Structure 1
Amino acid sequence: MHVVVVHNRYGSAQPSGENKVVDQEAELLRAAGHRVEMFERRSDDIADMSLLGKVAVPLLVPWNRAVRTELAARLRTERPDVVHVHNVFPLLSPAVLAACADAGVPVVATLHNYTQVCVPGTLQRDGRPCTECVGSTPLPAVRHGCYRGSRLATVPLAVSLSANRRRWWSGVQRFLCISASQRDVLVGAGMPAERLAVKHNFVPEPGMRREGGGEHLLYLGRLAEAKGVRLLMAAWDEIAAGGGVGVPLVIAGTGPLEQEVTAWAAGRDDVRCIGLCDTEQSREAIARAVAVVAPSTWLEAFGLVVVEAMAAGVPVVAAGHGAFVELVDDGVTGLLHRPGDTASLASCLRRITDGPDRNGEMGLAARRRYEQGFSPAVGLERLLEEYRTAIAGRSEPMGERINGGQ
């Protein structure tokens, strides 16, 4: 099969699970003998633009005519079987859908978050769940400045969401939701249920698994409010006040709360901040963990680190909402705490470290769950199945349905 992958890569200064998923799927397909070509833009390139170029970027968010022309020409030349769209913000835009229509190529789109119905894609505002824009216009997002706390920065995204809603919904043969909980939200928001399929992300074999009981609890991810970092710090303070759990907390990652986390951890012997880790360092840190902690306060659409822990035979302590509910079998492959509840998270951290035998059983169960649902073999089978469905489902020229005169 010949696949063109369309993706706007997130900035390299911050870890991106989405970039990782895109690269891993491309490698998986190539290893199976399929031809994969990339059509990309990089957010890192914005820094090198002229002042005029930087000023123009927000204007390209709703529609980038040059991208439509470039991609359509390439698709007409290469004639791929399918185009797989991931992120189009900020340099690609939904114009990629019109390009696919121009060339008559079917489209599959992976939905990594909730940007189809929520401007920042988190369904959260000020640290609390928010669905004001779901099923309606994104005017509340502009009013609240939901993107980076700025009304001005939010406007291009809100315009794109409003102007391109029908284009997305009619121009994509198959939307791949990365969890059932995400699909439920999107169907409830009015997206076409018949086109929304659940395809969990897969995780490559890590090459190392936990041996013994582990030596630390691990938080691995972006240091941001939505990821539950402040909640974790509060729970850990509660645990420390009670004498601790016998192992330190290791925090790996970077993000907007990095200075706050570093200051909190300074001078403590029960917390270690190790910064941004590469793939091998991350795998090693996971394999040495008693458990991996994922206390997100927003509704995670998937949770890559949870499955990475499972692959290494390590149980997870995660918030009991969003995709975590379907990824973690509470009491079997890990523990679920009440979302946003400091005492509940602290209790789960105590339980996961109290009793190595039970923890070991959870680790083995987590590994079995990975093999059954998130291995490369399973991921490849599901991906090809959706490509074939998209190709078979193309019954009329897409250009007539989505061009809309642009």
Structure 2
Amino acid sequence: MHIVVVHNRYASAQPSGENNVVDQEVALLRAAGHRVELFERRSDDIHTRSLPGKAAVPLLVPWHPGVRRELAARLRADRPDVVHVHNVFPLLSPSVLAACADTGVPVVATLHNYTQVCPPGTLQRDGQACTECVGRSPLPAVRHGCYRGSRLATVPLAVSLRANRRRWWSGVDRFLCISAAQRDVLVAAGMPAERLAVKHNFVPEPGRSRSGDGEHLLYLGRLAEPKGVRLLMTAWDALAADGGAGVPLMIAGTGPLESEVRAWAAGRDDVRYMGLLDQEQSRDAIARAVAVVAPSTWLEAFGLVVVEAMAAGVPAVAAGHGAFAELVEDGKTGLLHRPRDAESLAAGLRRATAEPDRNREWGEAARRRYARDFGPEVGLERLLDAYRTVMAQRTVGNLGDSR
């Protein structure tokens, strides 16, 4: 097949599971012999723009006519079989859908979060679940400054959601939800159920797996409130006051809470802050873990680090909501704790380290689940099936039109 992948890459200063997913899918498709081309923008490039250029970025978030013209010209020249859209914020915009419509190319779109129904895509505000904008006007998001705590920064996202909601729903032939939990939320919000399919992200073979019982508990991800970082610190302090977990807590990543995490970890023997790890360092840290910790307070649409741990035969201690509830089989491939409950999280961490025989069983079961549901071969077939489906639908539709 000939595929054009459309993606706005997130800033390289922050870890991005979405960037990783796109890169891994492109590599997987190419390795299988498919022709894949990228139509992308990079958020890093915003910093190199002139002051007027930077000022224009928010104005083009809802609609970028230049992108529409450029992509349409590319599609007319190359005639791909399908376009696969990932992220379009902030430099591409939903105008990419108009370019596909202009040229008659079918569209698949992976939904990595909840931006179809929530301007910042988190379904969370002030550390609590929030659905105030779901199925309604996104004005509450502006009023609360839900994107980066800024009303002004939230306006372009709210305008784009309001102006392009129907365009998304009618302009995409097939949406790929990365969990059944995400699909349920979006269907309940009014998105067309017949166009929403579940395709979990796949994870490449890590090339290493855990041997022994592990050396540490590991948090690997963005240091931000929705990821449950403050909840983890509270739970760990309670655990330390009650005798500790027996192994140190390793925290790897960067984000808005980095300075707070650094200060909290400084001078402690039971916590080590590792900063931002590269891919090889991350795989090594996972393979040496007793368990990975995923305490997100928001409804995760997937949970890449949990599946990366599965691939290495490492169980997870994760919040029992959102996608985690379908990724982690409580007491079989890991442990689920009550969401936003520090006491429950602390109990899960203690149990993960206190029962090494059971922990090994969880890790082995997690590895089997990975091989069945999240390996490269499974990911490739599900991706190709989505492409074949939309191509066939367009062929049938064109035949009907010709009659």
Q: Same fold (TM over 0.5)?
A: yes
Q: In structure 1, what residue type is equivalent to 2:47?
A: A
Question: 1:375 aligned to 2:367?
Answer: no
Q: Distance in 1 between matches of 2:397 and 2:32?
A: 30
Query: Which has the larger displacement, 139-148 or 34-43?
Result: 139-148
Q: Distance in 2 between matches of 1:34 and 1:163?
A: 35
Partner of 1:280: 280
Q: Distance in 2 between matches of 1:121 and 1:277?
A: 25
Q: Distance in 2 between matches of 1:356 and 1:55?
A: 55
Cα RMSD between the aligned structures?
A: 0.9
Partner of 1:338: 338
Q: In structure 1, what residue type is equivalent to 2:45?
A: D
User: What does 1:115-264 correspond to in 2, within 5 Å?
Assistant: 115-264=115-264
Partner of 1:325: 325
User: What does 1:5-16 correspond to in 2, within 5 Å?
Assistant: 5-16=5-16
SS at 1:322's partner residue? coil
Residues 135-156 of structure 1 show CA distances to partners (whole Å, capped at 9, x for unaligned) of: 1110111111111111111111
Partner of 2:390: 390
Q: Distance in 2 between matches of 1:249 and 1:360?
A: 19
SS at 1:175's partner residue? strand
Partner of 1:113: 113
Partner of 2:83: 83
Q: Distance in 1 between matches of 2:146 and 2:355?
A: 43
Residues 246-272 of structure 1 show CA distances to partners (whole Å, capped at 9, x for unaligned) of: 100000000000000110011100000
Residues 122-147 of structure 1 show CA distances to partners (whole Å, capped at 9, x for unaligned) of: 00000000000001110111111111
Q: Distance in 1 between matches of 2:147 and 2:272?
A: 31
Q: Distance in 2 between matches of 1:251 and 1:124?
A: 23
Partner of 1:29: 29
Partner of 1:403: none
Partner of 1:401: none
Q: Distance in 1 between matches of 2:149 and 2:343?
A: 30
Q: Distance in 1 between matches of 2:397 and 2:123?
A: 34
Q: Distance in 2 between matches of 1:391 and 1:172?
A: 12
Q: In structure 2, what residue type is equivalent to 1:189?
A: A
Number of residue equivalences = 398
Q: Distance in 2 between matches of 1:148 and 1:251?
A: 23
TM-score by length of 1: 0.97
Q: Distance in 2 between matches of 1:246 and 1:128?
A: 32
SS at 2:218's partner residue? strand
Q: In structure 1, what residue type is equivalent to 2:148?
A: R
Q: Distance in 1 between matches of 2:179 and 2:366?
A: 18
**Displacement, 1:396?**
5.1
**Displacement, 1:9?**
0.2
SS at 2:273's partner residue? strand
Q: In structure 2, what residue type is equivalent to 1:185?
A: V
Question: 1:74 aligned to 2:67?
Answer: no
Q: Distance in 1 between matches of 2:390 and 2:53?
A: 36
Q: In structure 2, what residue type is equivalent to 1:119?
A: P
Residues 52-87 of structure 1 show CA distances to partners (whole Å, capped at 9, x for unaligned) of: 000100010000000000000000010000000000
Q: Distance in 1 between matches of 2:173 and 2:298?
A: 28
Q: Distance in 1 between matches of 2:378 and 2:368?
A: 13
**Displacement, 1:243?**
1.0
Partner of 1:290: 290
SS at 1:170's partner residue? helix
Q: Distance in 2 between matches of 1:171 and 1:389?
A: 15
Q: Distance in 2 between matches of 1:130 and 1:211?
A: 41
Unpaired stretches in structure 1, ≥5 consecutive residues: 398-406
Q: In structure 1, what residue type is equivalent to 2:88?
A: V
**Displacement, 1:18?**
0.2
Residues 23-50 of structure 1 show CA distances to partners (whole Å, capped at 9, x for unaligned) of: 0000000000000000000000000001
Question: 1:348 aligned to 2:341?
Answer: no
Q: Distance in 2 between matches of 1:113 and 1:187?
A: 14
Partner of 1:400: none
Between the aligned residues of both structures, percent identity stands at: 81
Residues 284-324 of structure 1 show CA distances to partners (whole Å, capped at 9, x for unaligned) of: 00000000000000000000000000000000000000000
